[in-house]
Structure 1
Amino acid sequence: MAGASYARLLHLLVGWIFAGVILMIYPGTYRTGLGEILTRAVSLDVVLLALVALIPAMRRAEGVQARLLLVPDREEDIGVEPSGTWADRRRTAAWLIGRVVLGSAVGFATVFGLAPVFDLLTGPHALRYLPLVPVSALGYGWLVVWAGRLQLAMAVRLLGPSPAERLAEAELRAERLLERNRLARELHDSIGHALTVTVLHAGAAREVGDPAFVAKALEVIEETGRQAMEDLERTLVLLRETPAGGASAPGASAGGAPRNVVATEQPGIDQLPALFETVRAAGSPVEASIEVPPGVLPGVLSRESYRIVQEGVTNALKYAPGQPVDVQIAVRDGQLELRCANRLVTAPGRGGAGRRGGKGLRGIRERAVLLGGAASAGRADPVGPSTGSPADGDGEWVLDVRLPLRLGS
Structure 2
Amino acid sequence: MPRILAPLFAAATYARWLHLLIGMVFAGVVLLVYPGTEEVSLLRIVTAGAAVDSVLLALAATVPAMRRAEGVQARLLLMPAREEDIGAEPSRGWRDRRRTAAWLIGRVALGMTAGLLSVHALTAAVLLLTAPARDDALVLYGWTLPVSGEALYPVLAPVVLFGAGWLIVWAGRLQLAMAVRLLGPSPVERLAEAERRAERLLERNRLARELHDSIGHALTVTVLQAGAAREVADPVFTAKALEVIEETGRRAMDDLERTLVLLRESPGGPAVEQPGIDRLPGLFETARAAGSAVEAWIDVPAGELPGVLSRESYRIVQEAVTNVLRHSPGEPLIVRITVRDGQLEISCVNVCAGGGSTRRGGGKGLRGIVERATLLGGAATAGRQDDEWVLAVRLPVRLGA
Q: TM-score, normalised by structure 1?
A: 0.84
Query: Which one of 279, 293, 296 corresponds to residue 301 of structure 2?
Result: 293
Q: Is residue 2:370 matched to residue 1:362?
A: no
Alpha-carbon deviation of 1:338?
A: 1.1
SS of residue matched to 1:315: helix
2-side partners of 1:65 and 1:400: how far apart? 57
Q: Is residue 2:320 matched to residue 1:312?
A: yes
Alignment of 1:276-287 (within 5 A): 276-287=284-295
**Do the aligned partners of 1:220 and 1:281 also contact (CA within 8 Å) in 2?**
yes
Partner of 2:85: 77
Q: Which has the higher helix share?
A: 2
Q: Is residue 2:385 matched to residue 1:380?
A: yes
**Do the aligned partners of 2:125 and 2:161 also contact (CA within 8 Å) in 1?**
no
SS of residue matched to 1:141: helix
2-side partners of 1:89 and 1:306: how far apart? 51
Partner of 2:160: 136
What amino acid does structure 2 have at the position aligned with 1:403? L
Partner of 1:404: 396
SS of residue matched to 1:182: helix
Q: Is residue 2:116 matched to residue 1:108?
A: yes
Q: Is residue 2:43 matched to residue 1:43?
A: no
1-side partners of 2:58 and 2:201: how far apart? 40
What amino acid does structure 2 have at the position aligned with 1:2? F
What amino acid does structure 1 have at the position aligned with 2:33? I
SS of residue matched to 2:72: helix
- RMSD value, Cα: 2.6
2-side partners of 1:318 and 1:128: how far apart? 87
What amino acid does structure 1 have at the position aligned with 2:41? G
What amino acid does structure 1 have at the position aligned with 2:245? I
**Do the aligned partners of 1:53 and 1:92 also contact (CA within 8 Å) in 2?**
yes
Structure 1: state its 5+ residue gaps. Answer: 243-248, 250-255, 382-394
Change beyond 3 A, Cα 1:331–1:110: same
Q: Is residue 2:211 matched to residue 1:187?
A: yes
Partner of 2:195: 171
Partner of 1:157: 181
Change beyond 3 A, Cα 1:28–1:310: closer
Partner of 1:273: 281
1-side partners of 2:69 and 2:114: how far apart? 23
Structure 2: state its 5+ residue gaps. Answer: 1-7, 138-146
2-side partners of 1:66 and 1:216: how far apart? 66
Alpha-carbon deviation of 1:287?
A: 2.1
Larger deviation, residues 364-373 vs 230-239: 230-239
2-side partners of 1:128 and 1:281: how far apart? 96
**Do the aligned partners of 2:350 and 2:390 also contact (CA within 8 Å) in 1?**
yes
Partner of 2:9: 2
Q: Is residue 2:228 matched to residue 1:200?
A: no
Alpha-carbon deviation of 1:64?
A: 2.2
2-side partners of 1:186 and 1:257: how far apart? 21
Alpha-carbon deviation of 1:45?
A: 0.4
Q: Structure 1 vs Structure 2: percent identity of aligned residues?
A: 69
What amino acid does structure 1 have at the position aligned with 2:374? V
Larger deviation, residues 351-360 vs 146-155: 351-360
Change beyond 3 A, Cα 1:131–1:354: closer
SS of residue matched to 1:16: helix
Partner of 2:28: 20
SS of residue matched to 2:360: coil
SS of residue matched to 2:347: strand
Q: Is residue 2:74 matched to residue 1:66?
A: yes
SS of residue matched to 2:353: coil
**Do the aligned partners of 1:346 and 1:354 also contact (CA within 8 Å) in 2?**
no
Q: TM-score, normalised by structure 2?
A: 0.85
Matched pairs, number: 376
What amino acid does structure 1 have at the position aligned with 2:347? R
Alpha-carbon deviation of 1:341?
A: 1.6
